[in-house]
Amino acid sequence: MADRLAIEELSTRHLVLELARPWGPDVPHNHLIVVDVTLSDGSVGTGVSWTPRVGPEAVQALLDHDVRRVVAGMPAEPELVWDRLWERLHEGGSGGLTTIAMAGLDLALWDARGKRQGRSLVDLLGRRHDEVPTYGSGINLHYPLDDLLSQVQGWVDDGQTAVKIKVGRPRLSEDVQRVAAVREVLGPDRALMIDANQRWDLPTARRAIDALAPYDLHWVEEPLLADATWAYAQLRRSVDVPIALGENAHTVHRFRDLLDAGAVDVVQPNVVRVGGITPFLRIAEMAATYGVGLAPHLLPELSGQLALCLPGPTWVEDVDRASFAALGALAEPCGVTCVAGRLTAATGPGLGLCFVDRLPDPTTDPRKA
């Protein structure tokens, strides 16, 4: 019986993806741990764990040892497996590498479920939108101003109706100059988000947002340390610009705490960092009950499919040349497309993602020496 299928085997492979332009001196690559789960009928579901910098080998080891041992023989139902696995792995940490590893398995089980039913992930979850808007995004704090403006102009030329840039330069006057110049390129009708990547403390954030607010900001993202719930609640009460937060929140419980504290206007769960589709859906439902917006973080081939199933309006982050496809991780097109600021999805059954078997490792390839 299909509903009696059990997990028989789990295998992983590590793909090192070279970024077209490094996100910084210490981030020249992204890392994927591709997870294949074989079920008792011989079918295979494929998921993925992702980290741009920290711990890919640790994630793979966790999957290859602890996760494999715990889930062997379990029913191939992602919700049941996730909760039982969380009980076991929680001892190793309530988030971070733990949930990143769990995501690989959870995504593989959702992929297997979709393939078993002959339905794409979007149709399996319930399509609510035919398309969702995207915003151009880049890791560009270190770009000279001319390069930043060239990147933004490229997004405008591509039809993006919103963009996000990094802030948090050593002097606030530099941020003001850059944001003002970007607003000039965008004109008055495109949305502009800014992302400080946790670089400010509370007094600095208040001063910075007051100085940048005249440029009509759609939101300010991670202005403070991601764990500073009390400070976020204070900041949100003292500024008019919406606060976006969540790419570094790794559990449903952390999102509940942020929502209970009134610390956030837009939550931004990363489907891998929170542990997969199962917890992502729980976070989305919780955000909806609080009347708070949700905009998935990165990974458009996954986030876009989930966004099409959300009850309310959302944005999907389209990071410059950093999708799975752009990084060469996919063996064939997946059916998720971003054109003229709109994302659509017409994928095959399951996640619709077919990953390559291997890539040259740019950290060891002699051609890179």
Domain at 269, CATH number: 3.20.20.120
In a domain, 367, yes or no: no
In a domain, 106, yes or no: yes
In a domain, 196, yes or no: yes
Question: What residue numbers bound the domain in which 88 lies?
Answer: 2-118
pLDDT value of position 347: 96
Our count of domains for the chain comes to 2
Q: Residues of the chain with pLDDT > 70: what percent?
A: 96
Which residues, in sequence order, are bridge partners of residue 294?
Answer: 267
* Same-domain check for residues 109 and 199: no
Which residues have a Cβ under 8 Å from the Cβ of 33 and sit 6 or more positions away?
12, 13, 14, 15, 48, 49, 50, 56, 59, 60, 63, 101, 104
275's torsion region: left (phi>0), alpha (psi -120 to 50) or beta? left
* Same-domain check for residues 306 and 230: yes
pLDDT value of position 26: 87
Residue 123 corresponds to which tokens in the numbers above? Answer: 């149709």
* Same-domain check for residues 180 and 97: no
* Same-domain check for residues 6 and 51: yes
> pTM of the predicted model, to two decimals?
0.95
Residue 255 corresponds to which tokens in the numbers above? Answer: 């999102």
Which residues, in sequence order, are bridge partners of residue 220?
Answer: 194, 243
Which residues have a Cβ under 8 Å from the Cβ of 54 and sit 6 or more positions away?
none
In a domain, 301, yes or no: yes
* Same-domain check for residues 91 and 57: yes
Which residues, in sequence order, are bridge partners of residue 344?
Answer: 337
Q: Which residues in the chain land under pLDDT 50?
A: 1-2, 366-369
| 336 within 8 A of 301, measured Cβ to Cβ | yes
Domain end marker among 78, 99, 118: 118
* Same-domain check for residues 58 and 182: no
CATH code for the domain in which residue 82 is found: 3.30.390.10
Active site residues: 166, 297
In a domain, 361, yes or no: no
* Same-domain check for residues 153 and 114: no
- Of the candidates 157, 122, 124, 154, the one whose C-alpha atom is nearest the C-alpha of residue 138 is 154
| 80 within 8 A of 121, measured Cβ to Cβ | no
